[in-house]
Amino acid sequence: MGHDSGSSAGAGVESLSLDLLAHALAGVRDPRDRKSCRLASRAFARAEAASRRAARVLRREALPRALRAFPALSSLDLSACAGLDDASLAAALPVRLARASGVGWRGLEALVAACPRLEAVDLSHCVAAGDREMAALAAAGLRELVMDKCLGITDVGLAKVAVGCPGLQRLSVKWCREISDIGVKLLAKKCPELRSVDISYLKVTNESLRSVSTLEKLEDIAMVSCLFIDDDGLQMLSMCNSLQSIDVSRCHHVSSLGLASLIDSQRFLRKINAAHSLHEIETCVLSKLSTIGETLTVLRLDGLEIFASNLQAIGSTCKNLVEIGLSKCNGVTDDGIVSLVAHCCDLRTIDVTCCHLLTNGALAAIAENCRKIECLRLESCPFISEKGLEPIATLCSHLKEVDLTDCRINDAALQHLASCSELLILKLGLCSSISDEGLVYISSNCGKLVELDLYRCSAITDDGLAAVASGCKKIRMLNLCYCTQITDAGLKHVSALEELTNLELRCLVRITGIGITSIALGCTSLIELDLKRCYSVDDAGLWALSRYSQNLRQLTITYCQVTGLGLCHLLGSLRCLQDVKMVHLSWVSIEGFEMALRAACGRLKKLKLLGGLRSVLSTELLQMLLACGCRVRWVDKPLVYEG
Amino acid sequence: MEGRMTSLEATMKASSTMASSMVRNADPDQQTLRSNSVEQFYFPRPGQSLPGIPPFFGPPSSSLYLPNDNEAKFGNQFESNPSQNTDWDPQAIVSNLTFLEQKIKQVKDIVQSMNNRENQVAGGSSELAAKQQLITADLTSIIIQLISTAGSLLPSMKNPLLSSNPAVRQLGNTLGSPMGFGMNANQRPSVDSKTDIPDTGKTSDYDELMNNLNTAQDERDELIKCPNPCGGEGSEPTPMEDHDVKESDDGGEGENLPPGSYVVLQLEKEEILAPHTHFCLICGKGFKRDANLRMHMRGHGDEYKTPAALAKPTKDSGADHAPVTRYSCPFVGCKRNKEHKKFQPLKTILCVKNHYKRSHCDKSYTCSRCNTKKFSVIADLKTHEKHCGRDKWLCSCGTTFSRKDKLFGHVALFQGHTPALPMEDVKVSEASEQPHDSEPMNEMARSMVYSFPSSSSDGISNLDMKMADDVRGYFSPLSFDPCFGALDDFTRPGFDISENPFSFLPSGSCSYGQQNGDS
């Protein structure tokens, strides 16, 4: 019957033109649904092949086929592609290569030669990439380049890019610690089109800002934790008056004075991030805020000394604020929040993490004034209770994200929150008083929930999970660490969450291989799994994972009761596995480790192993791991059983 | 004291008398020292011609081997010289002084005899000059001996070291040699005009005298080696010469002397390339030493013969009467050539030298570190070598910089220039020199990846995997650990890579894998 309905639907679809089908497909967002369409009808498959613009390739072997199948691709994400090497790159497109540590300059050279229209490359976290890779890329005339944490890149590599890509518009060199003022100076001189520059964590000084200020089109500058930059630098930067976004967070030598002088010359500023830089926000800044009061939408002042009067001034000048960050700000009180939200009715995100003085009064004011609020971060606000959450839940129906970690709320609070049917992210970590009852409330109405954090909610049992699994089918990230009452039966319920990608089960001492097997069978999209200190999990669990969890990328099996055979099987079979933490596997012999690692060594990018193994594993193996771009973290923690 | 005396005598009497005197000082302790000393005389230090024999003490023969003859002839001079071990021996001093007295007398005789002959023959001026030269040389040697004798008698020289230390002995040898020099000059009248005469006016200082003597010695060596220093390629210029040259490098650029307000002098190519630094302002002839130039200048007129002109020049002397002189490069077509329309004269001769070498000569000095950079002026090489290999910043155009900011300034200035990667030359060497290091590593890594092809649920992707790489992976020559050899055995050879490689696992354990392969 199923077959019949499929074929009839297919016949109807066949008669439609390709572009109509493509248009219809564009409305289908979920990749799973798209896949169903493809499988249901050849016509859809053709339409998809002709119209698909973006692809994310998970396996190296599939890359050539994907490129053949989707000729219209304009963006290709290879950041999750296991074992990517130079040979595979020779035929790719606009590329995202983040964390592809095996990629070298030869591959990039081939890539650049093969794609004359290459415009954007993301090389972030390719820690091995250096000047030579940059030289290869520079030939492409890129517009966008992200090379965060490419540790080998020096001024010379930056100069190569600057000279080779005069049309560069966006550049991020975050964490490229070798880059200095000289390189930035040349960049500013050679790339006048630059709109966005990220020089965070560099050892650059005010001189760099002087150079950058000559960029006439600069809109966005980030200089997180540039410790050699001070007020003089910001003064120089004020030469450039087209800025839209400034990030000076964690620049410890920047003070209110410098920020004020910079703001003074700007007319279009939308975002200011001054988190953890100024000690306190002084009146000079507040008075200058009025010049950009109309445009400013995002203001982050995390970690500063903020008083009620400050918040009142901000509220009265910046009426269009959409996001305010006050995380870890001393002095934030109910009065302050009340006076802030009185004028800012467009606020959608409020971050008051660790503002310990806040009480339900603040929440009431927020609920009254900011009906559009979507994200509320209230972690560690201990005086907040269900009475405060009630007005929020009833008045702010758009609420999507709530962080109540460590807030000592109870099931009644969850009962109120359950009325927010748009809720996507709910963090309830360390709320040890919530029980299955609360989860039942949530699951009854929050069907869109994507992320649920129940870290150390130790009152949760299998029944609660049953409710969640039946009500919140869309959950992708689930944290059940230290919910020690959970057993294999609970995991059986969890296995109904087909879209689950991240699952943390740390220290669930009652679960065994059977529970893991059910997870592996049900949650086929699983990408990350944490089984640390699940002392009862054995080889059976690993075999299930190696058979069914083909998308698993990150796995922690520290302290699990697995043997060498299970490990070999696991590492030999999982083709997407890139990051494995396996410390204190007492049942695995040295030969077991050796064999397992050899079986996987082309794919692994990160490993965490017991320090003692370093000397007993063969040097040949370690060299091979190194050559494949795998980084090994050797830990020397003592074997301690807890839970 | 014994030793000291011996050395002293050696100094005074020079080679022919020395051996004999030592034989007479038949102290058992002296035997070794004596033989040592004799040996040094028989085998002079390198670069030094055979020590000459003072004309006063006998025929210029190789009588070094005939101590007895010498003893018979000159022994009486030192007969009274006792072999006492006292620190201060008046008798010895007396004998030394007598010896000096005798010598002075001898010289006097010679001069007198020459004077007589001169009166008889009334020979040409050249012969007269040669004679004067000879006498000057003799006087020089006498003064040297005087100084050395006096010096050896000074309390500071009364050191047992003098007798026991061969180095000091050698000092004596050195002192002995100028006498030979004098004679040598006599034998070679053709070159005597270039013979350096130690400035006797300044020999009050013992050290300076020594220096002068050594200079004279070197000079003579050179004369012998290259009789005509003005022509052809000489020995390499000493570094010292070129270092001060560097300062006034190609000067004259800034100054705008009106044409005609200066004399233009054009040296010939040979002159420029000769290893000289002292040039005659009148004819342009070059000399290695100023003293030789001064000697040469005498030929240009009597005004150069005054003692003031012959003395070492002070900075300002001569500046008054010399006309403003500028120089022209002999290379026709060069901007520095006087025929050029926009002729820019060179300020000094040193400028001429450097300009000519840099612009019109082969770059014969290659940097020993990088083996690529070449220079025609040795000072340039030395300057380069100071920085070569250390923080070398290279532009794609080939220009090198010692500092990164300079390179980046250069790159910022020129369109299309980019900093060159330091690896670029490393790359070549790496590929050629150490193929055993990096390449097999990658190879090994690749083969490892393919040696464990995992199960695949996608048939088409398997087809894609079947590339040359895979074949290589399977037939990789690499040997794994024993357990992996076994693993390979379990893996079915061939290309069916969708087969799970863990088929050797116990049947129960690999059920998943098998199913997978089938699916």
Distance CA A422, CA B237 (A): 90
Q: Are A604 and B491 in contact (CB under 8 A)?
A: no
Tell if the pTM clears 0.80, that is, is over it. no
Site of tokens 């070798």: A178
Q: What ipTM does this complex have?
A: 0.77
Q: Residue B372 pLDDT > 60, yes or no?
A: yes
Site of tokens 């047992």: B160
Percent above pLDDT 70 for chain B? 35
Q: Which of A119-133, A334-348, A579-593 has the lowest mean pLDDT?
A: A119-133
Q: Are A102 and A126 in contact (CB under 8 A)?
A: no
Alpha-carbon distance A160 to nearest alpha carbon in chain B (angstroms): 6
Contact with chain A for residue B514, Cβ under 8 A: no
Q: Residue A324 pLDDT > 50, yes or no?
A: yes
Consecutive H or E run containing A315: helix A308-317
B512 vs A61, A547, A601: nearest CB: A547
CB A160 to CB B418 under 8 A? yes
Taking all residues of chain A, what is their mean pLDDT, rounded to a whole number?
88
Q: Residue A355 pLDDT > 90, yes or no?
A: yes
A595 vs B445, B455, B483: nearest CB: B483
Query: Would you tell me how many other CB atoms lie within 10 Å of the CB of residue B112?
Result: 10
Alpha-carbon distance B437 to nearest alpha carbon in chain A (angstroms): 11
Alpha-carbon distance B332 to nearest alpha carbon in chain A (angstroms): 42
Residue A155: its chain B contacts at CB < 8 A? 404, 408, 419
Alpha-carbon distance B419 to nearest alpha carbon in chain A (angstroms): 6
A547 vs B483, B484, B516: nearest CB: B516
Q: Residue A487 pLDDT > 80, yes or no?
A: yes
A351: tokens are 């971050």
What does the pLDDT look like over A378-432, one tens digit per residue? Answer: 999 999 999 999 999 999 999 999 999 999 899 999 999 999 999 999 999 999 9
Q: Residue B418 pLDDT > 80, yes or no?
A: yes
State whether residue A640 is helix, strand or coil. coil
Distance CA A531, CA A503 (A): 9
What does the pLDDT look like over B38-81, one tens digit per residue? Answer: 344 444 444 444 444 444 444 444 434 444 444 444 444 444 44
Q: Residue B162 pLDDT > 50, yes or no?
A: no
Distance CA B387, CA A321 (A): 58
B155: tokens are 């309390």
Residue B262 DSSP code? S
| C-alpha separations of A472 from A133, A394, A406, A417, A496 in Å | 45, 21, 23, 14, 10
Mutate to test the interface with B, among A156, A184, A207, A622 (most CBs of B within 10 A): A156
Distance CA A263, CA A249 (A): 15
Query: Would you tell me how many other CB atoms lie within 10 Å of the CB of residue A28?
Result: 15
What does the pLDDT look like over A606-639, one tens digit per residue? Answer: 999 999 999 999 999 999 988 887 889 999 989 8
- The answer to whether the Cα torsion of A453, A458, A464, A469 is positive or negative is positive
Please report, for chain B, the start and end positions of each structural domain, with discontinuous segments joined by +: 262-310+324-361, 374-420
pLDDT score recorded for residue B383: 83
Contact with chain B for residue A591, Cβ under 8 A: yes
Alpha-carbon distance B409 to nearest alpha carbon in chain A (angstroms): 8
Q: What are phi and psi of A292, to 5 degrees?
A: -115, 15
CB B483 to CB A65 under 8 A? no
What does the pLDDT look like over A52-61, one tens digit per residue? Answer: 777 777 777 7
Question: Of A243, A271, A242, A274, nearest to A258 (Cα)?
Answer: A274
* A297: alpha, beta or left? (left if phi > 0; alpha if psi -120 to 50): alpha
Q: Which residue has the higher pLDDT, A368 or B214?
A: A368
pLDDT score recorded for residue B126: 63
Q: Are A454 and A432 in contact (CB under 8 A)?
A: no
For the residues A214-233, what does the mean pLDDT come to? 94
Contact with chain A for residue B411, Cβ under 8 A: yes
pLDDT score recorded for residue A85: 64
Q: How confident is the model at residue B121 (pLDDT cuts 50, 70, 90)?
A: low
For the residues B186-210, what does the mean pLDDT come to? 43
The residue of chain A with its CA nearest to that of B503 is: A569
CB B404 to CB A182 under 8 A? yes
pLDDT score recorded for residue A344: 92
Amino acid letter, residue B402? S
Percent above pLDDT 90 for chain B? 1
**How many A/B residue pairs have CB atoms within 8 Å?**
129
pLDDT score recorded for residue A125: 83
A65 vs B408, B422, B460: nearest CB: B460
Distance CA B200, CA B291 (A): 13
Q: Which of A421-430, A455-464, A518-527, B496-505 has the lowest mean pLDDT?
A: B496-505
Residue B300 exposure: Cα atoms within 13 Å on the Cβ side: 15
Domains defined for chain A, CATH in brackets:
19-50 (no CATH), 52-194 (3.80.10.10), 205-292 (3.80.10.10), 503-510+520-637 (3.80.10.10)
